[in-house]
Structures are given as C-alpha cells and as structure tokens.
Chain A
Amino acid sequence: MNIQYSGLADVNGPLVALEGVSGVAYEEIAELRLEDGTRRLGRVVQMEGDKVILQVFEGTTGLSLDNTRTVFKGRPLEIPLSTEMLGRVFNGAGKPADGLGDVFAEKYGDINGRALNPVARSYPRNYIHTGISSIDCLMTLIRGQKLPIFSGSGLSHNKLAVQIVKQARIAEENGQDFAIVFAAMGVQNDVADYFRREFDQAGASGRVVMFLNLSNDPIIERILTPKCALTTAEYLAFEKNMHILVVMTDITSYAEALREFSSSKGEIPGRKGYPGYLYSDLAAMYERAGVIEGSSGSVTQIPILTMPNDDITHPIPDLTAYITEGQIVFDRQLDSEGIYPGLSVLLSLSRLMKDGIGEGYTRSDHSDVANQLFAAYAKVQDARSLASVIGEDELSDTDKKYMEFGEQFEQRFLNQGADENRSMDQTLELAWDLLSLLPKTELDRMSPDLIEAHYRQQ
C-alpha cells in the first residue's frame, strides 16, 4: 500500500529533497531505507508541487542521491506512551536506549502537542517546597510554573537541579504521584551520567523518565527531545493525574540546533543568526507547563540554560524570560566566592509566587519578608559601590549596617549545603534574624505591627 520513492533529488545538511511525490501531508513522518538496511526517520518541512523537503533526524551522513528509498508513514511523529515509561531511558527521538525493549503503548501521542485553550487552564497556586532558602523565600516555585535556571558554563546549575529534584515535595502530600521527566539536550556524557547516578542514589530513578540527546548525537534529534519529554509529561500529568517536574538541560544547545537547522533551510535569520521564529518555537515548548481543569495532575518545568558569555541579553535567555514565569539566575561572582547556590537575588524572580505564598500556603509574613529582603539587598549593592569609591570606613552608619547585612545574607541565607533541606519556618526565621541587623526604620516594606511581632531585640 505504501509507495516507495527511490532516490533523492537533493541532499543539503540535515535536509533532503524528493521529487514526484504526491498525497503527502505537511509535517508527516517518512522513513528512509538505506541500501545497507539501516533506517532513518525524517519529517516533511516544506512542500512545493511534487517536491517535498524532509528533515532527517539522524543526519544525512552516508546518504547519496540513489542509495535511499523513502516511505511516507501517513502520520505525524508520535511516540508510544505508557506509565511503564517511568524508570526508563530513551534517546532524543523517544526510542528506548536502555536495552529493555520497546514500550507497550497505552496510546500514541503526537509530539508536537496542541495549544492549550487558555480557558481550560487553572491558575497555578500551590507551591513546591525545595528546601533551598533562596528559592523558597525569594523565588518560590509554584506547581504548574515554568521557572528556568539561567547559568553559565562552569557554574553549579546541575548540582542545584539535582538538589531541587531530590528535595522537591508538595506541601501536605505524600509525593506518591510525583514523577520527574528529564530531558538532556546536547549535554556531555558524564553530565547525563551524573544526573542518572544522583537520581539512583536518591532512590528516585523509578520515578524518572529520561530522554538523552548527548552532545555527540545528531542535532535534529535534539529538536525533538523536549517535544518527546513534554508529550510524556503531559500524558502522565493530564491523563494519569501525576505531578510532573520536567527538567530540561541545556536550552542553549537546543536553540543552537534550531539555528543550524534553520540556516540549512536557507531561512532569513533574526538576531544573532537565530531564526525569526525562535520565540514562537520556545513558547510552544514552555507553554506546555500548567495545570488544567478536570485533571489533578500538573506539569512544572525547570529548563536550564547556559547564557553564552554570561550575557542575559543574549536572545536565548532574553526570549526565554519573556515566556517563562520568572527566572533563577546564577551569579559568577558569588559562585566563585564559594557560595552555593550562588544565585543573583536581584535578577531572579518568580512571577507566580505572589498568589501561592502567604496565609494558607506558607506563612502570613512571607511576602513582606521577601519584599524587604529584596529591597534591603538592593541597597547593599549601592552601599558596596559607594564603599569601593570612598572606602568602607567613610560610609554612614546605616550604610555600614547594610554592608554587614549583605555579608551575612550571602553567607547564612544564600549559602547552604547540597543536602541541607530547610523548612519554610527555618528559612523565614533566618530572614528575620538577618533583617534585625538593620535599624527598624529601614524596614519600609512592612507594617509596624509585623516588625513588632518579629524584630529581634538586641
């Protein structure tokens, strides 16, 4: 029934062209059969008359114009979905990579997903406790949120991601239906290995689905990796009512793969050579986080990206932050001072925290404490830059107190052990200890009653 087309009309980078084709649908999947018996998958990316352009996932190495026969599958790219996937490892295109055989599909899912009707979403409100003071207090992670980690090469983002995964729990629930989908895009072998080992040690590997596209795997497969991971996450969350945390690393490699693919298609480039549709493409990925009506599950995303040259205005972090609901940003200076996690408090933000904290969620003073810490730490920066000009001794008394506050805040509040799991109370009390280093009059974001109730008398 399936027609085989022999030969190719053109091979260019990851793209091949076929002529004389009919009855093919846009974005349909094709299988390329080589003379040596190996098979590769491709997807229709452009059609004109009887000419079809295919994007080949495994790369075009070894393809010639006459050694290939192509069969169109009559369907978009789908992956088999099942709860059996928990504990399994797949490659970037969703094929089993752990030698345990195929997944018995309960259903097949189109990896492109579809846009959620905004009316069908529920606004995310429940917070996820990570046990990390800076995150819990200042950039609270909410179930159904997409909160990326902006890092740079050599910083401890992987360590932080592992700690979040290990310690993340949802308030007053036993975490039985909590699972992790891990998507690695273009990461080194030993990084993928590090994640696998850590998940094992935490006894979590039975709750993890891994999709690994390593740095030496084909780039086109990399474009599919987050789509496969999110299709799995959506299935587990919305059809099996589980709470899914999706960790995706490294978005920068993904965007670079997209750029490579775009330029080989001859598209007009936008900023820094990235395609003009980078925003739409990233959005299609990030927007797959959320909570929907009629399902008790949720998809929470923690994408990790390394900012090229630590530049937050680079298109990848820039566009990401325009889509995601906040960002957690690493600071190289703090990291090199040995502070873990060395997060830049002022650049970091969780947009959804305002509705998921306070009375009934965390503690009634949470939001005021967080605002005051932000404001105070901002003043620390002013005091420090002044001190670098006129010397610390010349500072006013208030500024000196800010210098002290800044130092203690970084050493005691930001800094914590990789296995240290602080409760919300511990975190907030610690914050009050630190705020009490400042004179009461400086606490301008809080009501006098609140200050009376918590301020430590020396």
Chain B
Amino acid sequence: MNNTIYAINGPVIKIRDTKDFAMREMVYVGNKHLIGEVIGVNDSATTIQVYENTAGLKIGEEVEGTGGPMSVTLGPGIISNIFDGIARPLTEMKKTDGVFVTEGSDIPTVDPNREFDVTVLVKVGDELSAGQIYAECPESPLITNRVMVPPSIKNCKVTFAAADGKYKPDDTIIRVDVNGEEVPLTLCQKWPIRTPRPVAKRIPINTPLITGQRVLDTIVPVAKGGAAAIPGGFGTGKTMTQHQIAKWCDADIIVYIGCGERGNEMTQVLEEFGELIDPKSGKHLTDRTVLIANTSNMPVAAREASIYTGITIAEYYRDMGYDIAIMADSTSRWAEALREISGRLEEMPAEEGYPAYLPSRLAEFYERAGNCSVLSGKRGSVTIIGAVSPAGSDFSEPVTQNTKRFVRCFIALDKQLAYARHYPAINWLTSYSEYIPEFEEFYEKNVGEDFLAVRQEIYNILVEENRLLEIVKLIGSDVLPDDQKLILETAKVIRVGFLQQNAFHKDDTYVPMDKQLEMMRTILLLNKRSVEAVKRGVAVSDILKTGLFDKLTKIKYEISNDHLEKFAEIDKEIESVISALGQ
C-alpha cells in the first residue's frame, strides 16, 4: 500500500495508518522528492520533518521510505567544498538550479565524476579490521584522504586490490571477504549523521589549540579535542572571533557550520579563505576548510540537521588521524530550530518554549568532541567551538546556561567591551578555561617554563585593576596612592597593548606563542621596575613621562612576528631608563 500525506503544518507532515517507517528513517516526500526524516511513530500517525520548503505540497502525495537513517556520503572531495544543511554541494546546485536554492535537488555530496590519484596500501590476502586504511589519495594540496574500512565491517580479508591509478569515488578499490560474503569497497562510505562514529578509545586532553589570538591562548585556552562556547549578544564579535580561530588555529581541518546565520557572512568566508594563505603551510585556507551553510532563510529543519552533518564530516576526518576544529555559528539558532519543530509537534514546552530535551541534545552534541585513539591506531581529535546567541544578551537564558554545563571552556563576549571597541571583546574576568592545568607539560616543553607563572601574574594585575576600578568609579583615580595608580597603568597596557588585538593588521592578526610570552614578560618587567621606582619615591606621573608605557602599548605593531630579538632591546631600555629615575 502506498503511504500518502495526511496533514501538513509548516515543515511537519503526517501520514496515517502505516507501520512502514522506522524512527529517524530518511524519506522522500511528495512528487518533488523533498528530503525528510521520520521524527515520530505511533499507532495512528507517522510524523515527518521536511528539510525543504513545503509550499506546493498536496494532501495525498506519496511518501517513500529509504530504509535507512538520515546519512551523509563521506569520501574524497569534501574538503574545500560548501554544502547545505543536508550535505548537498551548493556550488553544484548553483550550476544546475540557478542562484536560488531549489527544492528536491538530488545532487550527491561527493562528486562522482572527479578523479583522484589513488595509492592502494593493501594486497590480496591482507587481514583488515574496521577503520583500517587501505588506500590514500590527495584531496587538496594540504589534505590526503585516507580511505578506511567502514566501521560496520569488523574483520575481513582482501580478495582483490586494484592497481594504483586514477579512480572516481564510486570505483571499486578493493574487495574483501566478510564472513564468506564478498563486499566491494570504494573511496566512499555512508554514515548516519546522528550516530557518533566509533573510536578505539578516548585519550586525555593535553594540548591547547593554538589560535594566535592572545586573549584566547593565554587567558582562556581552547583544547585540542575539547569543547568551548562563545556566548555574546549581537555585535560583540562572535562571528569575527570564530573567523579568526578558523583562519589561524593549528588544526589540520576546519569545519565551519553557518547555522541560521547571514548569507553574506558565508560569502565572506568563501571569499576571504580563498584569498588568504595559511602561514604554516603556504597554501590557501580553503584547502583545509569545509563549509556547511544553512543561512537563516533556508528551511528550519535542515538547520537542525546541519550541526550533525558538520560533526559527522569532522569525525570522518578525525578517523583518518587529523585534528579537526568545528566552528558552529550559532548553536542558539539550532536550539531555536528544535524549539520550532517541537512547537509544531505540540510537545509540552519547558523553559522559554524550548523542549525539555534541549539539555540532552546539547550534551550529545558537545560530547562528540574529543581527543581519541582512532580505529586505525592513529590519534585524531575533534574540537567544537560553538557560538551562542543569548536572547537579549542575557546569559541566564536556557541555551547559554545548558551549554555552560557541557563545555569546559567558556569564552564570554562582553557588550561593554564591544561598545568601547575593545576587540576581541572577550571578558577576561567572566571567561574561564578548565583545561589550563592539563596543558602544563605542553607549555613547559613548547613555550617557556615560566609561561603559566607569567600568565598568572598578568591575570592577577587585571583582577586587581577590576577591584580598584570599583573605587575609581566613586572617587576618581587622582586620589589613589601611587602604587595603586601604577596597577591601573600597567593594567591599561595589558588591556590595550596585549588583550586588544587588531584582526586587520598584517602582523597582529596572528601572534605566535613565543611573541605572546615575550610581550607578557616585557610588560611584567616594566611593571616590576616601576614598582621598585615607586617604592623609591618616584611619582607615577614621572614614570609615565618616560613614554615606556605608551611604547609597550604599541609594541604589538612595532615588533613584527619574526623579529623577537628586539624585545631584548626594549628590556634593556626599561632597565636603564626606569632605574635611572629617582636616583
């Protein structure tokens, strides 16, 4: 018997009296073959959410099951590409459907006609298990695709191996014997987006994700394999911060999910990343980037799926042994999509209309981050950096609060800082990263033994400044004693000279860790010598007249990233000038 549509309400449709569909099964809806997913099954009706615009759909049109859950095809050609929320390539869609997104488009994720230079790594008779690599091919100038046995095949024996050469994604590369049954393996595999891909085991987090952004790397470091949230009201620079991380962080691959955000922002990413050169590899940033775009005017159900599509792609590359960073901008739009669908299903709402399962969905998502030993024995990681857009800039709303429970790095953007054009507008007092103790060894080996001590000293000055500013608000700064005035001046250098960073300046947009450490050391040296001078009775105003405070404020521009030896000269100048005061 054919299954036909019984009811339509926005993106939600219902079918009556059928037992043909499984929960979370992917379906084709109506004559246009819109893509949908089963989200409710009961005695009387099957409920389906449709990932495309339902206008024009009629009662009585057919719904076809696919027999499997909502899946994405994973294979070479994903890197450098841009997809919609259900992994359809947007560039191809433009070629076939024009400038507007058309419903029912059925273009495969992986271009079946592109050829890759495949090197086969196994021979007939080899024993393989899930996740093992049997071939590889260059996918972009930066990334080599390692072709893996799908996790569903536990153990198998190679019965045929093709010669090295040019192959298309769907060509058979090897055939394997799985319990007596011969299975061909190609360059691609399918994976259901809502199921995390299996790994051998999780391993402890011990390395920071270096972003070249001073306030992140020193004050609130993000972990490779960790999860971080960036909440902030409109105009505070969530997207800008994510762009900066995506451009400069030391992950191998970036998956950027534009979830319910602006179309022009995606265009900007496309254009900028196409032009920018990665300083470490000398290649274009697009060579390591995958974009998922569900702009705010695209169908809301696909917005809910876009997050899962993105993380499945990330896990696929993690399984090859890469470090992946996911930018999800914004998880609030995803939560709102959940709320909208939940409302259409007439579910009982919890806080602010959000469904009661919001926290568990958030937890499921953030838990897919991790530093892992993957099935092939390599190490790979997925780092999730999710932007949160709290309604009314109020951090007590449900999405921010629940997200806070599941991330260990909280990068709070501050409206007041943004108004004062202090960018990145990351509030150094309310943000936190629980990972710092785990990085101790990394810092000692790779940055400097004193890094954590220096960081703490800098942070203490900022905390002290905050306390003093409470007093200044009431009585003005002129009445403070000189040692306290000095704290304010040093803190100002830290805020303006160190924490503020100019994303549009060629040197300042990315600052390596050793320069960050040098900057902090120099600021602390100036502070130390000045404290001594104040103790000798030198007035703060006289210390300021040396111009050294102003000089350090601008040192980020004065000393380029590859001339760190100049810090020694500044240090010498500080030593001689300040110690000459009051003698």
B534 at the interface (CB under 8 A from A): no
Contacts of A314 in B (CB 8 A): 392
**Which residues of chain B from 422 to 451 have a CB within 8 Å of any chain A CB?**
none
B235 at the interface (CB under 8 A from A): yes
Name the CB-closest residue of A to B101: A115
- Most-contacted residue by chain A among B9, B54, B90 (CB, 10 A): B9
Q: Which of B130-138, B157-165, B208-216, B294-302 contacts A (4 or more CB under 8 A)?
A: B294-302
Name the CB-closest residue of B to A390: B476
**Which residues of chain A from 14 to 60 have a CB within 8 Å of any chain B CB?**
22-28, 46-50
Q: Which of A117-125, A197-205, A330-338 contacts B (4 or more CB under 8 A)?
A: A117-125
Our pick among B99, B352, B421 for the contact of A378 (Cβ within 8 Å) is B421
Are B343 and A315 in contact, CB atoms less than 8 angstroms apart?
Answer: no
Q: Closest Cβ of chain A: how far from B310's Cβ, in Å?
A: 15
Are A327 and B391 in contact, CB atoms less than 8 angstroms apart?
Answer: no
Are B266 and A318 in contact, CB atoms less than 8 angstroms apart?
Answer: no
Are A276 and B476 in contact, CB atoms less than 8 angstroms apart?
Answer: no
Are A347 and B234 in contact, CB atoms less than 8 angstroms apart?
Answer: no
Q: How far is the CA of A56 from the CA of B364 in the complex (A)?
A: 43
Our pick among A123, A279, A399 for the contact of B267 (Cβ within 8 Å) is A123
Are A287 and B234 in contact, CB atoms less than 8 angstroms apart?
Answer: no
Our pick among B58, B100, B340, B420 for the contact of A280 (Cβ within 8 Å) is B340
Q: How far is the CA of A352 from the CA of B267 in the complex (A)?
A: 12
- Most-contacted residue by chain A among B258, B299, B420 (CB, 10 A): B420
Q: How far is the CA of A294 from the CA of B53 in the complex (A)?
A: 25
Are B553 and A283 in contact, CB atoms less than 8 angstroms apart?
Answer: no
Q: How far is the CA of A367 from the CA of B505 in the complex (A)?
A: 12
B6 at the interface (CB under 8 A from A): yes
Q: Known contacts A118-B266, A118-B295, A123-B271: does B339 contact A270 (CB below 8 Å)? A: yes
Are A322 and B234 in contact, CB atoms less than 8 angstroms apart?
Answer: yes
Q: How far is the CA of A445 from the CA of B497 in the complex (A)?
A: 10
Name the CB-closest residue of B to A445: B421
Are A118 and B56 in contact, CB atoms less than 8 angstroms apart?
Answer: no
Q: Known contacts A119-B94, A268-B353: does B340 contact A277 (CB below 8 Å)? A: yes
Question: 1/0 per residue B369-388: CB within 8 Å of A?
Answer: 00000000000000000000
Q: How far is the CA of A103 from the CA of B336 in the complex (A)?
A: 40
B496 at the interface (CB under 8 A from A): yes
**Which residues of chain B from 383 to 399 have a CB within 8 Å of any chain A CB?**
389, 391-394
Q: Looking at chain A's contact residues, is the secondary structure mostly helix, strand, loop, or mixed?
A: mixed
Are B100 and A117 in contact, CB atoms less than 8 angstroms apart?
Answer: yes
Q: Looking at chain B's contact residues, is the secondary structure mostly helix, strand, loop, or mixed?
A: mixed
Q: How far is the CA of A196 from the CA of B311 in the complex (A)?
A: 52
Are B476 and A116 in contact, CB atoms less than 8 angstroms apart?
Answer: no
Q: How far is the CA of A323 from the CA of B98 in the complex (A)?
A: 24
Contacts of B8 in A (CB 8 A): 26, 46-48
B179 at the interface (CB under 8 A from A): no
Question: 1/0 per residue B248-281: CB within 8 Å of A?
Answer: 0000000000101011101110110000000000
Question: 1/0 per residue A74-92: CB within 8 Å of B?
Answer: 0010000000000000000
Q: How far is the CA of A287 from the CA of B473 in the complex (A)?
A: 43
A389 at the interface (CB under 8 A from B): yes
Contacts of B44 in A (CB 8 A): none
Are B56 and A47 in contact, CB atoms less than 8 angstroms apart?
Answer: no
Our pick among A47, A268, A347, A448 for the contact of B343 (Cβ within 8 Å) is A268
Name the CB-closest residue of B to A76: B55
Question: 1/0 per residue B227-262: CB within 8 Å of A?
Answer: 000000011000000000000000000000010101
Our pick among A26, A287, A288, A375 for the contact of B58 (Cβ within 8 Å) is A26
Contacts of A288 in B (CB 8 A): 297
Q: Known contacts A267-B343, A374-B421: does B56 contact A287 (CB below 8 Å)? A: no
Q: Known contacts A47-B59, A279-B333, A390-B475: does B393 contact A118 (CB below 8 Å)? A: no
Q: How far is the CA of A49 from the CA of B349 in the complex (A)?
A: 26
Are A27 and B264 in contact, CB atoms less than 8 angstroms apart?
Answer: no
B477 at the interface (CB under 8 A from A): yes
Are B392 and A346 in contact, CB atoms less than 8 angstroms apart?
Answer: no
Q: Closest Cβ of chain A: how far from B275's Cβ, in Å?
A: 11
Are B296 and A114 in contact, CB atoms less than 8 angstroms apart?
Answer: no
B142 at the interface (CB under 8 A from A): no
Are B264 and A277 in contact, CB atoms less than 8 angstroms apart?
Answer: no
A269 at the interface (CB under 8 A from B): yes
Name the CB-closest residue of A to B52: A115
Are B7 and A121 in contact, CB atoms less than 8 angstroms apart?
Answer: no
- Most-contacted residue by chain A among B82, B293, B349, B353 (CB, 10 A): B353
Are A290 and B496 in contact, CB atoms less than 8 angstroms apart?
Answer: no
Q: Closest Cβ of chain B: how far from A388's Cβ, in Å?
A: 11
Q: How far is the CA of A294 from the CA of B82 in the complex (A)?
A: 20
B557 at the interface (CB under 8 A from A): yes
A153 at the interface (CB under 8 A from B): no
Residues of B within 8 A of A (CB): 6-10, 14, 16, 53-60, 82, 90-91, 93-94, 97-102, 234-235, 258, 260, 262-264, 266-268, 270-271, 293, 295-300, 333, 336, 339-340, 343, 346, 349, 352-353, 389, 391-394, 419-421, 472-478, 496, 504, 550, 553-554, 557
Question: Which 3 A-B pairs rank lowest in CB-CB distance, beginning with the nearest?
Answer: A283-B296, A313-B392, A48-B7
Query: What are 19 A-B pairs with beta-carbon distances under 8 A?
Result: A26-B8, A26-B56, A47-B59, A48-B6, A50-B59, A116-B100, A118-B82, A118-B90, A118-B266, A119-B82, A269-B353, A270-B339, A279-B336, A313-B394, A318-B392, A355-B268, A374-B421, A378-B419, A389-B475
**Further 13 A-B residue pairs, CB within 8 A, beyond A115-B101, A117-B90, A279-B336:** A22-B59, A26-B58, A47-B8, A76-B55, A118-B295, A120-B98, A283-B295, A284-B297, A287-B295, A325-B264, A327-B235, A389-B476, A395-B476
